[in-house]
A and B are shown apart, each in its own frame.
Chain A
Amino acid sequence: MTDLLKTPRTTMPTREEDAGPEVRRNTSPVTVEDRLAVAGALAGSVALTFVLFGWIAPFDSLLGFVVVAYLLFIGLYAVLISLDENRVAVRDRVTAVVWQSLAALLLAALGFVVIYALLRGHRALGHWNFYTQDMSSTGPLAPLTQGGVLHAMVGTLEQISISLAITVPLGLMCAVFLNEVPGGYARFVRTVVEAMTALPSIVAGLFIYATVILMIGVDKSGFAAGLALSVMMLPIIIRAADVVLRLVPGSLREASYALGSGQWRTVWTVVLPTSRSGLTTAVILGTARGIGETSPVLLTSGAAAGVNANALSGPQTSLPLATFQLVTQPQPNMITRGFGCAALLMFLVLLLFLLARVIGGRGPGELSRGRQHRRVLASRRDVERMERRPQRFPQPAAPSGTES
């Protein structure tokens, strides 16, 4: 009995004193073997495809080469992984490669679309007259040092201003309505607006053509084009603004009501300032969509070769429409101008987009450093004002959602 107790039942782990300092383990999900497998499969597939296309079958086209190489790559990669992993891991690695290559394909294709227009149009963009002249006195065979797209720039500017003048107040007010006056009616409006975001732009153009031009009898003009763009942009802006307004924390609204302010004051001093950056983004993104639309302008304004600053009468072209008109002509210089016009349009959209990112990169309530600073100053002023006030009774602070 005592012998049993004396003999230890558990075995103590023996310490290896000479193991040296502990080696840090690699916790990265990507190992060297994975990289080597990818590289090996890639090299093997390219080599095999060369053999196939060079010796066995005739070299047909680059596309065929790439497709065959890709399929071989997937196969070889699966084989390489299966050498030291089980089937589940093989499936995991192969699907990862497939998704990544699909993403790479899409991004490459989209990038190529944009770069192609820049490449073909850069010769036109280099000439200063491209921005300062119109096409009214430029012959079909004139060199690129003559003529430009000033008329289209003027047209785009005026048409988008007209449509913004309509859509910004109406769209934002409607978005506020959807959020602040809820009920069955608001739900119905929201449903209709959501359904209308897919309104084909040509139908918007056709609608304005049927009503404003054919029925009321307004000329084909930049104004009509602005109206058509408004019909198209309105649902987009309302929907985006609606989403932004929905993100305003309810506690902010309730705090404002609890301080005794009415609905209108709450909207004006709490809801709108809180979501200002998001609303700006909504408007800018809607503008970017509107600027690039060709078909409503085609139907309602028509093409003009000269500058027409009067939006109320006469055809007035826009940048996308000018692009379309220029590239459908046979002369190479005209086509180059068209591509230049498209590049200009893309720069404009990029600019608007970057603006939207800079302004709307933060959520509601998140302040930039300048605004935070100003708010601190305002609150300090409030404190001073309250301290100066005679202490008759404890005064609740006014809702200080506004900032100077």
Chain B
Amino acid sequence: MTTFVPGLTGTEPGPAADDVPRDIRSSPEPADRAFRLVARGSGAAVLAIMLLVGFFLTYRAWGALSVAGFSFLTTSAWEPDSHRFGIAAVITGTVLIGLVAISLALPLALGTALYISEYAPRRLKRFLVSLVDLMAAVPSVVYGLWGAFFLQGHVVGLSRWISTYFGWIPLFRVEGAEPDDPLASMTVYTSSTFIAGMVVALMVTPIACSVMREAFSQAPPGEREGAYALGATRWGMIRSVVLPFGLGGVIGGTMLGLGRALGETIAVYMIISPVFEIQPHILQNGAISVSSLIALRYGSASELGMSALMAAGLTLFVMTLIVNFIASSIVARSRSGAGAEA
């Protein structure tokens, strides 16, 4: 018994030679054509806005960059009106704040993500996931308030302790501190890179944690159960299945957090007291970042000063763009399977 195939049996009218491949190009109807046009147009509009940001910053920054030349990268003072300005100090400050923030945020985010995805009871889990997501949406000015009014006063003891016992490491040295004098003023420890970094760390931890938890929860259940079946403890399973699988998420989440930390303005601005010199001592009073420089100086800037601020903004923009680009490519590569793509 053969199956009946229309067009192939001899009883069908018409010779088989006429059966040429049909034209399968679709000709969309006018509504669809309009839809595609509008869709492409909106894509182009978004693209234009995004590229315009970069283009305009470069365009406006050009004046300052051509005045300063190469010294823009090496000067640490910021006096545009006397043609002495550069980003050496602000970039160092930004990177230091970012590094302090990320080195505090990484263990916190990792621990919380592992707890939520591996240890928390099921009902608590959903609540905690929502809570962390909510914390990621808390305005940065709230974190700034906490840092400026609470942390500032309570963390100087820790700063003093670190600088007293670890002051031999250049990073933790505080100049002008007198640890042996109990009556010495503590103001030398306030408004430092360290405190700003701590606040920014709390701010970026929820985002990093959320990305990591997402990656951990995607670890294949078959391999998890396989590890248990081979007699692994829970930590053994995490170390051999969850962490290798989620490594991309951990790195990507950390980089995303770093990107947010580098660009943070208002929380940093509320805490630091600005200095325009390279300040490698993170515990010492005085710090600066690109974004707080812009917030500080945009109001009183001359033509050239504005251009110089644009150049600083451009630098920050390029920096966060690179960090974020690396982060998103790592996160994207770590995902197995393309999701629900049809």
Binding site for B on A (CB under 8 A): 60-61, 63-64, 88-89, 91-92, 95-96, 98-103, 105-107, 109-110, 112-114, 116-117, 120, 170-171, 173-174, 176-178, 180-181, 185-186, 188-189, 192-204, 206-207, 209-211, 214, 231, 234-235, 238, 246-251, 253-254, 262-265, 267, 285, 288-289, 291-295, 298-299, 320, 323-324, 327-328, 335, 338-339, 342, 345-346, 349-350, 352-353, 357
Contacts and interface: CB of A to CB of B under 8 A. Distances in A.
A113 B321 contact: no
Interface residues of B, number: 96
Interface stretch (B11-19, B49-57, B79-87, B278-286): B49-57
Interface stretch (B2-10, B172-180, B255-263): B255-263
B138 A195 contact: no
A352 B321 CA distance: 29
Interface of B: 28-29, 31-32, 34-36, 38-40, 42-43, 45-47, 49-53, 56-57, 60, 107-112, 114-116, 118-120, 128, 130-131, 133-135, 137-146, 148-150, 157-158, 161, 202, 205-206, 209, 233-236, 238, 256, 259-260, 262-266, 270, 291, 294-295, 298, 306, 309-310, 313, 316-317, 320-321, 323-325, 327-328, 339-342
B255 to A, nearest CB: 9
A90 to B, nearest CB: 10
Contacts of B316: 200, 202-203
B325 A106 contact: no
A102 B50 contact: no
A295 B39 contact: no
Contacts of B116: 103
B31 A200 contact: no
A231 B260 contact: no
Interface centre among A107, A264, A267 (most CB of B within 10 A): A264
Contacts of A254: 342
Contact of A342 (B128, B134, B145, B150): B145
B140 A207 contact: no
Contacts, number: 278
Contacts of B209: 106
7 contacts: A173-B38, A174-B43, A203-B57, A206-B310, A249-B342, A350-B134, A353-B134
B265 A294 contact: yes
A120 B149 contact: yes
A265 B141 CA distance: 44
Given A107-B112, A177-B40, A249-B342, A294 B141 contact: yes
A202 B294 contact: yes
Given A174-B46, A199-B53, 19 more contacts: A61-B157, A92-B235, A99-B114, A99-B118, A180-B39, A193-B50, A195-B325, A235-B50, A249-B340, A250-B341, A250-B342, A254-B342, A267-B35, A288-B137, A292-B142, A320-B139, A327-B149, A342-B139, A345-B142
Nearest to A341: B141
Contact of B60 (A194, A210, A263, A350): A210
A176 B263 contact: no
Contact of B115 (A99, A185, A353): A99
Contact of B137 (A171, A209, A289): A289
B138 A114 contact: yes
Nearest to B293: A202
Contacts of A170: 42, 45-46
The 9 A-B pairs at the shortest CB distance, nearest first, are namely: A250-B342, A102-B111, A292-B139, A200-B263, A198-B324, A103-B115, A92-B233, A177-B39, A173-B42
A177 B50 contact: no
A202 B205 contact: no
A211 B56 contact: yes
B233 A103 contact: no
A114 B295 CA distance: 25
A107 B236 contact: no
Contact of A264 (B34, B112, B139): B34
A200 B142 contact: no
Interface centre among B49, B141, B265 (most CB of A within 10 A): B141
Contacts of A105: 108, 111
Contacts of A196: 50, 53, 321
A117 B50 CA distance: 35
B233 A346 contact: no
A153 B238 CA distance: 47
Nearest to B59: A210
Given A342-B142, A346-B142, A264 B31 contact: yes
A186 B111 contact: no
